[in-house]
Structure 1
Amino acid sequence: MKIVIAPDSFKGSLTAKQVAEAIKTGLQRVLPNADYEMVPMADGGEGTVQSLVDATDGHLVTRQVHNPLNQISNAYYGILGDGKTAVIEMAQASGIQYVNDKTHNPLITTTYGTGELILDALYHGVQKIIMGIGGSATNDGGAGMAQALGVKLLDNDGQELDFGGGALDQLAQIDLSGLDPRVKKTQLLIASDVTNPLTGSDGASAVFGPQKGATPEMVKQLDRNLHHYAEVIKRDLHQDLEKRPGAGAAGGLGTGLMAFTNSEMAKGIDLVIEFTHLKERAQNADLVFTGEGGIDFQTKFGKTPYGVAMATKAVAPHSSVIVLAGNVGKGIESLYGRDAMDAIFATPEGAKPLDQAIADGPHDIAETAENIARLIKKID
């Protein structure tokens, strides 16, 4: 019997690899002779670096960068097992965790540190970069990232702009003469399910700005500034990005990446499936175990368990896909189907406080997997 174990992390509790190991522990108590294929997964959000590093036997790289408040912080990214592909979560350098209710200010927060991580990956000789762009504290259109890569964003006096979306109204000229030449030679895959444009009622400032501390007045200012930024990009770089789907992702970082790097947008789960070789590893699988911390009707829209189910059923149509989750929410009936999930199980053993549920996670996941295995063995 071949069993593929391909879960996402349980956020705030266990990495995807730890979840996979707990599932395997429980299954092996009943099915010790099965052939197990472990594939830690993610969907492009938090945990993607660790999952891809674990799944490909890669390694982490830590370096000091400028965080969104322009202070020095440690951040990490991964180099996959092929030695040629880096995976970066922009939130590591420019994420919302660096600010609080007193310090959040999207007029000044910068993506400069994200650019520093890209540069460091280039110094390691990578040929491809996967960039997850969720969880940002910024609204600068990726301007800081571009400045870190060597782009000069100049005002009417030929001076470099200050950091943050609040300075973009002063942009008069974009100078690419200092852009690191390796940037355009390196393929960058943007892992994001966000389709918002850069500006307007569905844009970066209006939709995501308030989450980052923007007042209604700030939202209007930032939206005007990003419109101006897009106009200068259109004039100087001959790229019309303002209404491009995904341009508003991560406070407009999607725009900056499309404007200044050799990039393309892709669904996070699709990239992870590709780079973990999940389909190849799931060939002839009898059982597929996946999961994440919480599951509900939204899981169908780009989340790991649904992506794993669809991918594995495509190559092993007779397999059974079993999902384990720390919390099972509403609407899960929409997740079932011949080409999707076959069964969903909640893992917590009884009602308990959140901190206790987190501490008991490995035990409870293993127990649930063991009970499922006992049923499978009885049926067989």
Structure 2
Amino acid sequence: MKFLFASDSFKGTLSSPKTAELLTCAAREIFPDCICDSIEVADGGEGTTDAVLSAVNGKSNSLKVHGPLWEELTCSYGMLDAKRAVMEMAAASGLPLVPDEKRDPRYTTSYGTGEMILDALNKGFRDISIAIGGSATNDGGIGCIRALGVRFLDENGEELKGCGEDLIKIRKIDVSDMNPLVKECNFTVMCDVTNPLCGKDGATYTFGKQKGATPEIQDELEKGMQNYRDILKAQFGVDMDQIEGAGAAGGLGAALMVFLKGTLKSGIETVLDLVDFDKRLEGVDIVVTGEGATDWQSVFGKVMQGVGMHCKAHNIPAVAIVGSMGKGAEDIFDYGIESMITTINGVMTLPEALENAEELYLCAARRMFRMLRAGSRLA
């Protein structure tokens, strides 16, 4: 019997490697002669770079960039081989980098993300995957693109700095000095939201509040984003209100598509491609996956859905261990997951469940492998 373990982390309690360690322990108790393989996975959100690096034995590259408030900080991105790199914009421009009392997307910038991209280009990487979740910004990505040589000019022809409050001031975009290495590179943008750039479902009104924008600030930023949209349409012939994902990461999605010709792709699908997941399925009898909380959202670009669909395509059964099941959790059965059990084994409070997460997970794994043993005997 050969198992492959590919679980998402249980946020705040169990890492993906820890779930694999516990599954291996339980599997060998029930199937002493089994072969256990594991792979770290993520859905394009926090932890994506680390998961991919672990799976392919890649290396991390550290550098100094400007953070969301223009402060100097050290961040890193992943080097998979001589040509491929993977990075998270949140490492340079993420919301957790901004203290609560300083959160105001009028003043935050994605410039540091552009500095990460520039560093990768200068080091010879020509296939760059960028996860854009968790941003602190609502600058339309102009900070990021400015770091790559594009100039955003005001009515006096002066170059703007590249933050949210600058969007309303843009009158012309000068791409003549954009770094020429950009044209040599293929960019994949990991994004699972479909928001347009502007409007009630756009970048500002959907995500602005969580970044510190009051309703008044949102109205101000929306006017700026509309101005930016109109200039993009006039100069480049694209209407970012008609393109899904343009509003991701405060409009960074739009900038990466327009200026870098980036291709938006599901986060989990990108990760599974980067870690060569389908090849890892060769010779596997059963895959075990899971996540902390499963509900209706789990079938929209999350780890279990991606793993389940790939297993289904290869006719390999997949089962899951999850922390909890919410409304719509059983929708996952339509996406290649054959069965699912929870770690909770009795009446308990959430703090109790979190405190005992490791023990509860191990017990659930033992129950699951016993059931699989019973099934194998029936077969």
Residue 372 of structure 1 is matched in structure 2 by 368
- AA at the equivalent of 1:31: F
Residue 23 of structure 1 is matched in structure 2 by 23
Which TM-score applies when normalising by structure 1? 0.93
Residue 85 of structure 2 is matched in structure 1 by 86
Q: Aligned pair 1:116/2:147, yes or no?
A: no
| Partners of 2:38 and 2:273 in 1: CA distance | 15
Q: Aligned pair 1:289/2:288, yes or no?
A: yes
Q: Aligned pair 1:274/2:273, yes or no?
A: yes
| Partners of 2:79 and 2:349 in 1: CA distance | 37
Note closer, same or farther for the CA distance 1:159–1:85 as it changes in structure 2 (3 Å cut).
same
Identity %: 40
| Partners of 2:158 and 2:312 in 1: CA distance | 56
| Partners of 2:152 and 2:258 in 1: CA distance | 13
- AA at the equivalent of 2:31: L
Structure 1 residue 359: deviation in Å? 5.3
Structure 1 residue 83: deviation in Å? 3.4
Residue 228 of structure 1 is matched in structure 2 by 227
Give the conservation status (yes or no) of the 8 Å contact 1:15–1:47. Answer: no
Structure 1 residue 226: deviation in Å? 1.1
Residue 33 of structure 2 is matched in structure 1 by 33
Give the conservation status (yes or no) of the 8 Å contact 1:17–1:51. Answer: no
Give the conservation status (yes or no) of the 8 Å contact 1:242–1:255. Answer: no
Give the conservation status (yes or no) of the 8 Å contact 1:183–1:262. Answer: no
| Partners of 2:234 and 2:331 in 1: CA distance | 46
Q: Deviations over 1:288-307 (max 9, x none)?
A: 10011211122111111121
Q: Aligned pair 1:321/2:322, yes or no?
A: no
| Partners of 1:350 and 1:77 in 2: CA distance | 42
Residue 143 of structure 1 is matched in structure 2 by 142
Note closer, same or farther for the CA distance 1:233–1:17 as it changes in structure 2 (3 Å cut).
same
Residue 170 of structure 2 is matched in structure 1 by 171
Q: Aligned pair 1:334/2:346, yes or no?
A: no
SS of structure 1 residue aligned to 2:100? coil
Unaligned residue ranges in structure 2 (runs of 5+): none
| Partners of 2:311 and 2:317 in 1: CA distance | 9
Structure 1 residue 74: deviation in Å? 2.2
| Partners of 2:170 and 2:221 in 1: CA distance | 13
Map 1:248-267 → 2, pairs under 5 A: 248-267=247-266
Unaligned residue ranges in structure 1 (runs of 5+): none
Structure 1 residue 122: deviation in Å? 1.7
| Partners of 1:285 and 1:150 in 2: CA distance | 48
Map 1:97-116 → 2, pairs under 5 A: 97-116=96-115
Note closer, same or farther for the CA distance 1:237–1:285 as it changes in structure 2 (3 Å cut).
same
| Partners of 1:303 and 1:55 in 2: CA distance | 18
- AA at the equivalent of 1:71: E
| Partners of 2:191 and 2:27 in 1: CA distance | 34
- AA at the equivalent of 1:133: I
Give the conservation status (yes or no) of the 8 Å contact 1:2–1:286. Answer: yes
- AA at the equivalent of 2:206: V
| Partners of 2:270 and 2:258 in 1: CA distance | 21
Structure 1 residue 311: deviation in Å? 0.8
Residue 96 of structure 1 is matched in structure 2 by 95
SS of structure 1 residue aligned to 2:76? strand
Q: Aligned pair 1:344/2:343, yes or no?
A: no
| Partners of 1:50 and 1:352 in 2: CA distance | 32
Q: Deviations over 1:184-243 (max 9, x none)?
A: 211111111111110111111111111211122221221111111122223333433333
SS of structure 2 residue aligned to 1:255? helix
- AA at the equivalent of 1:87: V
Residue 183 of structure 1 is matched in structure 2 by 182
Give the conservation status (yes or no) of the 8 Å contact 2:146–2:162. Answer: no
Aligned residues: 376
- AA at the equivalent of 2:34: A
Structure 1 residue 283: deviation in Å? 3.2
Structure 1 residue 348: deviation in Å? 4.6
SS of structure 1 residue aligned to 2:213? coil
Map 1:122-161 → 2, pairs under 5 A: 122-161=121-160
Residue 75 of structure 1 is matched in structure 2 by 75
| Partners of 2:296 and 2:10 in 1: CA distance | 17
Q: Deviations over 1:128-185 (max 9, x none)?
A: 1111111111100001001111111111222211331111111122122222111221
Residue 46 of structure 1 is matched in structure 2 by 46
| Partners of 1:242 and 1:333 in 2: CA distance | 34
Note closer, same or farther for the CA distance 1:238–1:35 as it changes in structure 2 (3 Å cut).
same
| Partners of 2:82 and 2:353 in 1: CA distance | 37
| Partners of 1:183 and 1:279 in 2: CA distance | 30
- AA at the equivalent of 1:120: D
Give the conservation status (yes or no) of the 8 Å contact 1:63–1:75. Answer: yes
Which TM-score applies when normalising by structure 2? 0.93
| Partners of 1:298 and 1:211 in 2: CA distance | 19
| Partners of 1:352 and 1:128 in 2: CA distance | 47
SS of structure 1 residue aligned to 2:106? coil
- AA at the equivalent of 1:256: A
Structure 1 residue 368: deviation in Å? 2.1
Larger displacement relative to structure 2 (35-44 or 298-307): 35-44
SS of structure 2 residue aligned to 1:230? helix
Larger displacement relative to structure 2 (224-233 or 25-34): 25-34
Structure 1 residue 48: deviation in Å? 1.0
Note closer, same or farther for the CA distance 1:4–1:130 as it changes in structure 2 (3 Å cut).
same
Structure 1 residue 357: deviation in Å? 4.3
SS of structure 2 residue aligned to 1:168? helix
